[in-house]
Amino acid sequence: MQRRTILTGTALGVAGAALGLTRPAGARAGQPARGLLAVRGVTVIDAARGVRRDQTVLIRDDRILDADSAQRVPVPPGTRVVDGRGKYLIPGLADMHTHATGIDDTDPELYVVNGVTTTREMSGGAEARSWQRQVAAGERLGPRWTVGSKIIDGTPSLWEGIDTDNDLHIAVADPAQARAAVRQEHAAGAAFIKTYTRLSRTAFLAVAEECRRLGLPFLGHVPDFVELTEASDRGLRTVEHLFGIWYDTSADEQRLRRAVAAVPIGPGEYNGWFNRMHPLEYAAACTYDRRRAERVFRRVARNGTYVTPTLVLHETNDLPEQIDRHDPRNRYFSADMIGFWDWAVDNLYLPGRTPARIAESRELFRRRLSLTADLAAAGVPLMTGTDLGTSYLMPGFSLHDELALLVRAGLKPLEALGAATLNPARYLRRSDQGVVARGALADLVLLDADPLHDIRNTARIDSVVVRGRLLDRAARVHLLADIEARVKQPSATPATYRGCACHGPARAVV
């Protein structure tokens, strides 16, 4: 299949000139020119300090020089000034659960044009590492990327037959193999280790111990055979998705755990795992004990464990009948990408959806929203993530959908913004990120409307500042038009598809 490279190498220079993003001789593509940029008279909103009106934010290169009242921040002559009156400035957004799809090569630019300036890659493939290098070298526009390990799963692994080249997962049968996998990925430069669904308890504990020895974070799915509280106690840094949370909070926990352990799952049985686990997950959700849950969640919060709910993923999995296959945002994706999404929905999501199963799934998603609110109320830090790679989830665009679902779940808009800005920065141990303050990174989003009035206003973007470089309204419009035109270029070879319904990238077979 022909790849569609967006704004790399020479193409970026040509497009940059067309978009008014020219730079002085010697500067690299995608990097800010020397000089000052000021956003003046703007309302600043961040989760650390709330709302500050009539502010001037002064930027040089990739740092905020000052951010204070317009009267206290002078704007030097020659500064490029953006009129912020009537607009709202927030920190750049973070998508903390992504997977490079391997079909459209457009993710970096789509993230940035949507105000997503930080991403975390959860399956450590070559695609994301390539994007990370290109962005860091200034060869293309893109977010700051944190790239993890290959997925460490048990054996048989849900990835067998899907990741046929073994470039995205490692299956381990025992603690020795688990420790070796951690060492291998650490040596390869992984920023963290990703644990997965069918990892045995002994192998999981070995991963935890080896990561502790190496000083390497580990995070991911709570395996079927491990309690949430034990995973958190052992140092699991973030819990990805809500699947593994119900059992610790169920009044019928022990019976359900025995049932989960007895479920036979063969190699590569993604759809089988969902189908066989659904009755048990539904039973656990229906026996949710709020007092028990509060004790569990406060323990998780004390341990400093984060949760990435990925509500957009759960909505897609639980309610595939509601997927909008005619979403106008689809124009930014190739026929191959849309083809994979449709293939997955028709072959993996919809078969076997009886009226009873649909009714249960609706109730389960309603309970997931309530569960998310309970986690936040107990002090568990939440982060936004989309699980890009799942059908009809889109780089950048779906992060705004996730914010809307967090508010629908019961979070206040400022709390939802914190999940997309301040909490990811704290997770990354970056005091200079996720805030609009002196000395912070100049990753910012200028909005036309107040996100605290309506969280959906995060999608009403005027401009984006990424690494100190301004992508103004006209540049955003031109960049989106360029992406739309490029993904319409026909593939050299028609593609057929195989892949998992969620949690991982589509793989094109040509």
Per the rule left: phi > 0, alpha: psi between -120 and 50, beta: everything else, 320 is alpha
pLDDT at 272: 81
* Averaged pLDDT score across all residues of the chain: 90
pLDDT higher than 90, residue 197? yes
pLDDT at 19: 35
Reading the block at residue 135, the tokens are 């962005």
pLDDT in tens, 367-395: 999 999 999 999 999 999 999 989 999 99
Q: Which domains does the chain have, with CATH numbers?
A: 10-91+435-487 (2.30.40.10), 93-434+499-509 (3.20.20.140)
**Using 50, 70 and 90 to split pLDDT, how confident is the model at 495?**
low
Residue 410 φ/ψ, nearest 5 degrees: 130, -5
**pLDDT average, residue stretch 328-332:** 98
pLDDT higher than 90, residue 16? no
Q: Give me the residue label for tokens 């020479």.
A: 10
> Nearest-CA neighbor of 441 among 144, 136, 85?
144
In 162-232, beta strands by DSSP E: 169-171, 193-195, 218-220
Reading the block at residue 163, the tokens are 């990741």
Count CB atoms within 10 A of the CB of residue 189.
Answer: 10
pLDDT in tens, 426-458: 999 999 999 999 999 999 999 999 999 999 999
> Cα separation of 177 and 374, whole Å?
37
**Using 50, 70 and 90 to split pLDDT, how confident is the model at 219?**
very high
pLDDT higher than 80, residue 25? no
Reading the block at residue 136, the tokens are 């860091």
**Using 50, 70 and 90 to split pLDDT, how confident is the model at 269?**
confident
* Of the listed ranges 30-39, 57-66, 126-135, the one predicted with least confidence: 30-39
Contacts of 352 (CB under 8 A, 6+ apart): 275
**pLDDT average, residue stretch 120-132:** 91
**pLDDT average, residue stretch 55-73:** 96
Element (H, E) at 64: strand 63-69
pLDDT at 494: 54
**Using 50, 70 and 90 to split pLDDT, how confident is the model at 493?**
low
> Cα separation of 434 and 417, whole Å?
10
Contacts of 198 (CB under 8 A, 6+ apart): 153, 154, 155, 156, 157, 158, 223, 224, 265
Count CB atoms within 10 A of the CB of residue 213.
Answer: 12
> Cα separation of 411 and 506, whole Å?
32
**pLDDT average, residue stretch 179-203:** 97
pLDDT higher than 50, residue 8? no
pLDDT in tens, 85-117: 999 999 999 999 999 877 999 999 999 999 999
pLDDT at 108: 97
Q: Give me the residue label for tokens 């970026």.
A: 12
pLDDT at 492: 65
Element (H, E) at 205: helix 201-214
pLDDT at 27: 37
pLDDT higher than 50, residue 13? no
Reading the block at residue 134, the tokens are 């290109």
pLDDT higher than 50, residue 31? no
Bridge partner residues of 199 (DSSP): none
Three-state SS annotation for 214-259? HCCCEEECCCCCCCHHHHHHCCCCEEECCHHHCHHHECCHHHHHHH
> Cα separation of 306 and 303, whole Å?
9
Q: What is the DSSP secondary-structure string of 133-178?
A: HHHHTTSS---EEEE-PPEEE-SS-TTTTTSTT-SSEEE--SHHHH
pLDDT in tens, 398-436: 999 999 999 999 999 999 999 999 999 999 999 999 999
